């Protein structure tokens, strides 16, 4: 099928029969009590006559389950927690509302990069956007902070390297577009694991690289992390002063990357841990107005005393990524608390030539959760 309209027609018929078969039970008067309208980026479902069905969350879940698999691979059904109704004002009362499902036409294809020059920063109107998949973007000026969770070997550090390359280029482009260049280094990378690839990428981008000195005590690393975060807060304060005179000023974007987030507070004592959390809180709560971003990867985003950050701070991540070939309520509980079992089962993770490498789920802050495939990062050295 080459024509979008043909695809839409064919899939409309498929949904029609799947819904009739799945929701109809034994009641053969059911057919056509449900109306549907499929377009390139939306599916509307409404009731045509007073019926035993109501447009509630149960029906939404049932329909989402049906359409997620029936529409694959022609469309991706974006998951939005809760109920989204659209008014149909010109219709009689029984049909005056429709359930709305946002769709993406085609599956999201994985990006591939093989060199530091392979950047994916685009202009989206007046805003700059970093592509995370083909036709799927992160807009740092709208969703300033990023959280990435996976178990060990899940692809966190590799994804951080991809982001570091693109954040660097984002920052340069924002200056070109008029952001004030106060000579700050756009990249700060905090790497408790001293990952050789992350180190190489950081140094090639001339970023600030903070790493543990294994000949010194564990406390000395958390001290150096806190010192670095403090200097970013000082920058934020200098920018705040400047904003008093130039209220509309936009500054060069600064991205603070933290790998293995949960391991850092674990290295400190109660005192250093408190300081670390407080610094993170300030950056996550206030940084956005001064073009300061946090990009944090961690095996866990548990909040509180034994966790990676405070529960308040965790709420500040607009972009959230869970890299896992199987999503369950256990691994989704920190970043995607809103996902229940039904919703998780409706998110279809697909594989490509790279298998389950770096697959999972993502939200870029637009309110939707979709399946994710991290960019494939080839030999960068």
Ligand X SMILES: Nc1ncnc2c1ncn2[C@@H]1O[C@H](COP(=O)(O)OP(=O)(O)OP(=O)(O)O)[C@@H](O)[C@H]1O
Residue 371's beta-bridge partner residues?
361
Please report where in the chains the tokens 């939707």 appear, as a residue.
368
Angle at 301 between CA 258 and CA 255, to 5 degrees: 25
Q: Which does 357 bind (CB under 5 to 8 A by kind): Mg ion, ligand X, none?
A: ligand X
What is the Cα–Cα distance from 205 to 164, expressed in whole angstroms? 8
> Under rule CB under 5 A, how many of the chain's residues touch Mg ion?
2
> How is residue 353 annotated by DSSP?
T
Interface residues with ligand X (CB under 6 A) are: 150, 152-158, 193, 357-358, 374-377
Among the residue ranges 47-55, 59-67, 155-163, 265-273, the one whose residues contact Mg ion (CB under 5 A): 155-163
Nearer to ligand X, 324 or 370 (CB): 324
Q: How far is the CB of 297 from Mg ion (least distance, A)?
A: 7
Among 157, 174, 272, 364, binds Mg ion (CB under 5 A): 157
Q: Per rule CB under 5 A, is residue 119 in the interface with Mg ion?
A: no
Q: How far is the CB of 261 from ligand X (least distance, A)?
A: 12
Q: How far is the CB of 124 from ligand X (least distance, A)?
A: 23
Q: Which of 184, 290, 172 is nearest to 231 (CA)?
A: 184
Nearer to ligand X, 59 or 380 (CB): 380
Q: How far is the CB of 210 from ligand X (least distance, A)?
A: 16
Phi, psi dihedrals of residue 378, rounded to the nearest 5°? -80, -160
Rounded to the nearest 10 degrees, the angle between the axes of helix 196-204 and helix 156-176 is 10
Q: Which does 287 bind (CB under 5 to 8 A by kind): ligand X, Mg ion, none?
A: none
What is the Cα–Cα distance from 270 to 67, expressed in whole angstroms? 50
Nearer to ligand X, 8 or 359 (CB): 359
**Omega before residue 217 within 30° of 0, cis:** no
Among the residue ranges 3-11, 140-148, 151-159, 359-367, the one whose residues contact Mg ion (CB under 5 A): 151-159
Nearer to ligand X, 198 or 369 (CB): 198
Enumerate long-range contacts of 53-56, CB under 8 Å, 24 or more apart: 53/23, 55/83, 55/85, 55/97, 55/98, 55/99, 56/83
Q: How far is the CB of 250 from ligand X (least distance, A)?
A: 31
Rounded to the nearest 10 degrees, the angle between the axes of helix 218-245 and helix 270-286 is 30
Q: How far is the CB of 208 from Mg ion (least distance, A)?
A: 19
Q: Output the 3-class SS for 85-114.
A: EEECCCCCHHHCEEEEEEEEECCCCCCEEC
Among the residue ranges 84-92, 154-162, 271-279, 325-333, the one whose residues contact Mg ion (CB under 5 A): 154-162
Counted residue by residue, the chain has a size of 381
Q: How far is the CB of 165 from ligand X (least distance, A)?
A: 12
Residue, CB closest to Mg ion:
157
Q: Which residues bind Mg ion (CB under 5 A)?
A: 156-157
């Amino acid at each position: 099928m080459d024509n979008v309209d043909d695809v839409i027609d064919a899939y409309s018929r498929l949904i029609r029969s799947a819904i009739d078969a799945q929701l109809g039970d034994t009641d053969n008067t059911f057919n056509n009590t449900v109306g549907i309208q499929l377009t390139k980026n939306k599916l509307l479902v409404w009731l045509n006559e007073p019926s035993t069905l109501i447009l509630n969350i149960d029906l939404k879940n049932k329909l989402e389950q049906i359409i997620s698999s029936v529409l694959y691979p022609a469309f991706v059904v974006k998951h939005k927690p809760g109920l989204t109704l659209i008014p149909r004002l010109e219709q009689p009362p029984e049909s005056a509302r429709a359930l709305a499902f946002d769709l993406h036409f085609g599956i999201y294809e994985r990006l591939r990069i093989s060199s530091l020059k392979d950047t994916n920063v685009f202009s989206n109107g007046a805003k700059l956007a970093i592509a995370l998949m083909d036709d799927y973007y992160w807009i740092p000026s709208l969703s300033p902070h990023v959280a990435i969770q996976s178990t060990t070997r899940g692809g966190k550090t590799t994804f951080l390297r991809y982001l570091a390359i693109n954040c660097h280029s984002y920052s340069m482009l924002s200056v070109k577009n008029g952001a004030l260049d106060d000579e700050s280094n756009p990249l700060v990378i905090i790497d408790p694991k001293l990952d050789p690839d992350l180190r190489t990428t950081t140094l090639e981008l001339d970023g600030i690289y903070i790493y543990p000195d294994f000949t010194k005590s564990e406390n000395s690393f958390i001290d150096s992390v806190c010192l670095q975060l403090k200097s970013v807060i000082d920058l934020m304060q200098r920018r705040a002063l400047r904003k008093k005179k130039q209220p509309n000023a936009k500054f060069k974007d600064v991205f603070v990357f933290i790998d293995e987030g949960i391991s850092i507070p674990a290295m400190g004592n109660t005192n250093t841990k408190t300081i670390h959390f407080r610094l993170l809180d300030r950056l996550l709560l206030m940084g956005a107005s001064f073009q300061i971003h946090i990009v944090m990867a961690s095996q866990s985003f548990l909040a509180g005393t034994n966790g990676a950050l405070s529960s308040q701070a965790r709420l500040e991540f607009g972009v959230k990524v869970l890299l896992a070939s199987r999503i369950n309520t256990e691994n989704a509980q920190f970043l995607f608390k809103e996902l229940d079992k039904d919703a998780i089962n409706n998110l279809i993770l697909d594989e490509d030539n790279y298998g389950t490498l770096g697959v999972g789920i993502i939200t870029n802050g637009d309110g939707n959760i979709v399946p994710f495939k991290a960019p494939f990062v080839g030999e960068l050295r």
